[in-house]
Amino acid sequence: MYKATITVRLKSSVLDPQGSAVKGSLHSLGFAEVENVRIGKTLEVWLDSADAAVAREQVEAMCQQLLANPVIENYEFQLEEGA
Amino acid sequence: MYKATITVRLKSSVLDPQGSAVKGSLHSLGFAEVENVRIGKTLEVWLDSADAAVAREQVEAMCQQLLANPVIENYEFQLEEGA
């Protein structure tokens, strides 16, 4: 069993209205030192692949096909065995 | 300037319908080896704090007050300087 921890972030050139809203809320709560907030996703995927190379290839394909939108998002992942 | 990278995850005892939906979609796409999917948030917060100890305290307070729901979510964060 492998566990992939995938982080999907908006590209830095893409506006992040959710991040701006959270920054506004933090300012309202008194956290005036906050300069910027960006929000992304973390996905944990457990998969039962034959070996690490296969698992890596499968996770890469999942990101391309479903988990990230390569037009506006970047992704990266780490793979652990036996998690 | 400090950058905090905060990961907010549902506690393992809490159902994750979004994760279940993504797992279903991955199966539909042919990724039969996927056993489980859990989805969380990644927040990047840039803040202009006096020093690292203050920044750490502020991020902790932000998580408690706004960024995570301690009833159903766990959070962790890493702090980098000058990012």
The answer to whether the CB atoms of B45 and A62 lie below 8 A apart is: no
Pick B34's closest partner by Cβ from A34, A35, A45. A45
What pLDDT band is residue A82 in, cutting at 50, 70 and 90?
Answer: confident
- Give the pair of three-digit tokens for residue A75: 């992704």
Indicate the DSSP class of residue B65: I
Residue pLDDT, tens place only, B2-44: 999 999 999 999 999 999 999 999 999 999 999 999 999 999 9
Residue A8 above 70 pLDDT? yes
Alpha-carbon gap: B13 to the closest alpha carbon of chain A (Å): 15
- The parent domain of residue B43 ranges over 2-81
Mean pLDDT of chain A: 96
Number of domains within chain A: 1
The answer to whether the CB atoms of A49 and B26 lie below 8 A apart is: no
Residue A83 above 80 pLDDT? no
The answer to whether the CB atoms of A65 and B22 lie below 8 A apart is: no
CA-to-CA dists, residue B9 to A57, B80, B83, angstroms: 25, 21, 24
What ipTM is given for this predicted complex?
Answer: 0.90
Residues of B in contact with A2 (CB under 8 A): none
Residue pLDDT, tens place only, B36-80: 999 999 999 999 998 999 999 999 999 999 999 999 999 999 999
CATH number at residue B50: 3.30.1280.10
Q: Give residue B82's pLDDT.
A: 83
What chain B residue is nearest to A40 in terms of C-alpha separation?
B42
Q: Which residues contact B39 (CB under 8 A, 6 or more apart)?
A: A41, A42, A43, A44, B10, B16, B18, B19, B22
